[in-house]
Structure 1
Amino acid sequence: MNVENTQVQMRKGILEFCILHIISRGEVYASDMLEELTSAKIIVVEGTLYPLLTRLRKAGLLEYKWVESSAGPPRKYYKLTKDGKAFLDKLEETWDELQASTNQIISQNKTN
């Protein structure tokens, strides 16, 4: 079994949650998201981000607007919809539960 494959799957599992969190701070440009995700070692390829953003938009969780740029073509800025905020709130509850459960299990290894 390859540990790198498992690590990649773990990162993929929380990618959507992290993207929604980044966008929840306010309107954000996709390359800024990519930079933050890459620096946090959550994602390293552009080809993963854009299809996910499209899927989240089609699900009604995100919307975007085009903003003119003096440095080139217009930029697409994403923000959460009301449904997106509610969805993120539910994911937060799940994250808190998973984190507590995981810590409980891991702490048993430290006490034995």
Structure 2
Amino acid sequence: MIPSQMLKGTLENCILKVISKQETYGYEISQQLQEYGFTDIAEGTIYPLLLRLEKNGYITAEYRESALGPKRKYFSITPAGEKELETFIANWRELECAVNQVFHIGGKEDEH
């Protein structure tokens, strides 16, 4: 289980990445995140993040008919969302590198 404080600020961008691959809807996003290892993320956690991403102009939403019931809200990434995702990836790589150096991950362990 990933502590919620560690997820803060990263889950939004993980959702954005899932949407960047193809137009999708909330339940499908939840399923994809579970496949990537986010097993403890409730579907109810995702919807407020989707609303925030939409409010920030990173995604757009469109209701479409569904053969399995009511209309579904499909999300797609905007150019602003693509730019945000690029910025996040660059920042994530920088953070990952720094943390790995502190813990000597991928290198020689500190002898002290």
Give TM-score scaled by structure 1 length. Answer: 0.85
The structure-2 alpha-carbon separation of the partners of 1:83 and 1:43, relative to structure 1 and needing over 3 Å to count, comes to farther
CA distance in 2, matches of 1:79, 1:42: 23
CA displacement 1:73-105 (0-9 Å, x = unmatched): 111110111111011110010011011111111
- Matched ranges for 1:13-92 at <5 A: 13-39=9-35, 40-41=37-38, 43-92=40-89
CA distance in 1, matches of 2:25, 2:15: 12
Query: AA paired with 2:65?
Result: E
Q: Which residue of 2 aligns with 1:7?
A: 3
Structure 1 residue ranges without an equivalent (≥5)? none
The structure-2 alpha-carbon separation of the partners of 1:54 and 1:84, relative to structure 1 and needing over 3 Å to count, comes to same
* Cα drift, residue 28 of structure 1: 1.0
Point out the structure with the larger helix share.
Answer: 1
- Identity, in percent, stands at 37
8 A contact 2:26–2:43 mirrored in 1: no
8 A contact 1:15–1:43 mirrored in 2: no
* Cα drift, residue 43 of structure 1: 4.6
- Superposed CA RMSD in Å reads 2.0
Q: Which residue of 1 aligns with 2:109?
A: 110
8 A contact 2:64–2:73 mirrored in 1: yes
Query: AA paired with 1:44?
Result: I
CA displacement 1:19-55 (0-9 Å, x = unmatched): 1111110101110111122341265212211111101
Report the secondary structure of 2:61's partner residue: strand
Give TM-score scaled by structure 2 length. Answer: 0.85
The structure-2 alpha-carbon separation of the partners of 1:63 and 1:44, relative to structure 1 and needing over 3 Å to count, comes to same
CA distance in 1, matches of 2:41, 2:92: 22
What is the number of residues matched between the two proteins? 108
